[in-house]
Amino acid sequence: MIKEAIILAGGLGTRLRPVVTDVPKCMAPVAGKPFLVFIIDFLVNQGITSFIYALGFKGDMIKDFINNQYPKLDNRFSFEEEPLGTGGAIKLACKFCIDENILVLNGDTIFKINLEELTSFHTKHDAHCTLCLKPMHDFNRYGVVELNDDNSIKNFKEKKSYVTGLINGGVYALNKNIFLKEKLPDKFSFENDYLQTYFNKGKMYAVIQDKYFIDIGIPEDYQKAQTDFTVIK
């Protein structure tokens, strides 16, 4: 079972600026709590015991909050001195990981995956990276991921209007050792420069999980999260 998680929490949150101006995106208040609380609590319930926070913009604010709110958790903090992109942030944070296989996810998104199912598939296929895909209908905000019959990645398709498709939910089981062996720069996009470049060169798979998903990166979905999590609470 995967026990370590990297949470990408270094984003500037520029698209949320009209409604959230003074805190990092993952700390945006949702239903009276920082959004990050819902992510951490969900992961703890799924069995994650160690957290590595990839921090950038106002990272000290996040670190202080975590240490105060979750003092009993195994918390580690990776600070980037300049924006490194999602890939660079993951690469840097991997140095704080102990296990070979780790969970990677975004701090502005909740995708309520089944971690046991993800771990089982990832280890059974000896995958380099396993993506969690969410079935979606009538959308234009996300690209689509196509799969082969064995659930290996067939292709990534660009953002446009789709009637139906599988989107990348931004949650990954990653073989840290294989990932760090790739000749990747210190600053790069995980999505573009790793996933879309290496999917046909290594063992990259996906699991489909039709679970609750929300990305608060734009004001409309941020407002939707207020309602969703107030009801859940």
What pTM did the predictor assign? 0.96
What is the number of domains present in the chain? 1
Q: Give the model confidence (pLDDT) of 8-65 as tens digits.
A: 998 766 767 666 768 888 999 999 999 999 999 999 999 999 999 999 989 999 999 9
Residue 21: per-residue pLDDT: 67
Residue 223: per-residue pLDDT: 94
Residue 22: per-residue pLDDT: 80
Q: What is the CATH number of the domain that holds 216?
A: 3.90.550.10
Extract the residue ranges of the chain whose pLDDT is less than 70: 12-13, 15, 17-19, 21, 231-233
Residue 26: per-residue pLDDT: 93
State the residue range of the domain holding 24: 4-232
Residue 165: per-residue pLDDT: 98
Residue 13: per-residue pLDDT: 64
Residue 159: per-residue pLDDT: 95
DSSP the chain: ---EEEEEE----GGGTTT--SS-GGG-EETTEEHHHHHHHHHHHHT--EEEEEE-TTHHHHHHHHHHH-TTSEEEEEE-SS--HHHHHHHHHGGG--SSEEEEEETTEEE---HHHHHHHHHHTT-SEEEEEEEEEEESSS-EEEE-TTSBEEEEE-SS-EEEEEEEEEEEEEEHHHHHHS---SS--IIIIIIHHHTTTTTEEEEE----EEETTSHHHHHHHHHHHHHH-
Residue 17: per-residue pLDDT: 66
